[in-house]
Amino acid sequence: EGALDPLVGSAAERVVLSDQVAAAKWGTGSPIEDPEREQQVLDGVAARAVELGLDPEEAKRVFRDQIEASKLVQRGLHAHWSAHPDEQPTERPDLGEIRPELDRLGEAILVVLRDTDDLREGASCPGLLVSAYAHSAHDLDALHQTALGRAVPLICS
């Protein structure tokens, strides 16, 4: 497995978990975008980055992309479900149970960001990133591949 596979794999897990977020919000009138929760996520990321010895601004930049990727999935699924009512979710997951899972994935992403700090500055990073993307995207449909592409462009610093 390549050196960036764990990092891109965790970003892919976050993108896939966003399906549950989309289902939690579907039919409730809750907007996909929740700026207050985004700010909480980013504040938590910055604080944890400092503890881990990561540049908090860099960590926040990476997580702004994770958030955009999640909203891309949610918007894509809501559009799909509007057009294909037979594929709408039949159960509504509890957002309050999904967000702690997003937080756990966020922690995993921060730890692997720290573990790959030197590697991500090196000349080999773009090649490793493409290879990790290919491995993770293999199992994803087009929407989730697009979202994963949105999630990882700032990984090589």
Closer residue to ligand ISJ (CB): 31 or 53: 31
Q: Does 38 bind ligand ISJ (CB under 6 A)?
A: yes
Q: Does 34 bind ligand ISJ (CB under 6 A)?
A: yes
Report, in Å, the least distance between residue 43 CB and ligand ISJ.
Answer: 12
Q: Which of 105, 97, 123, 126 is nearest to 63 (CA)?
A: 105
Encoded tokens for 14: 């976050």
Cα separation of the two ends of the chain: 21
User: Please, what sign has the CA dihedral across residues 149, 151, 153, 156?
Assistant: negative
- Assign 40 to helix, strand or coil: helix
Q: Which listed residue (15, 54, 67, 143) binds ligand ISJ by CB under 6 A?
A: 67
Helix (H) or strand (E) holding 104: helix 95-115
Q: Does 97 bind ligand ISJ (CB under 6 A)?
A: no
Encoded tokens for 12: 């892919």
Q: Does 37 bind ligand ISJ (CB under 6 A)?
A: yes
Closer residue to ligand ISJ (CB): 86 or 91: 91
Q: Does 70 bind ligand ISJ (CB under 6 A)?
A: yes
Q: Which of 105, 109, 107 is nearest to 120 (CA)?
A: 109
Q: Does 99 bind ligand ISJ (CB under 6 A)?
A: yes
Closer residue to ligand ISJ (CB): 3 or 21: 21
Contacting positions for ligand ISJ (CB under 6 A): 21, 33-34, 37-38, 41, 66-67, 70-71, 99, 102
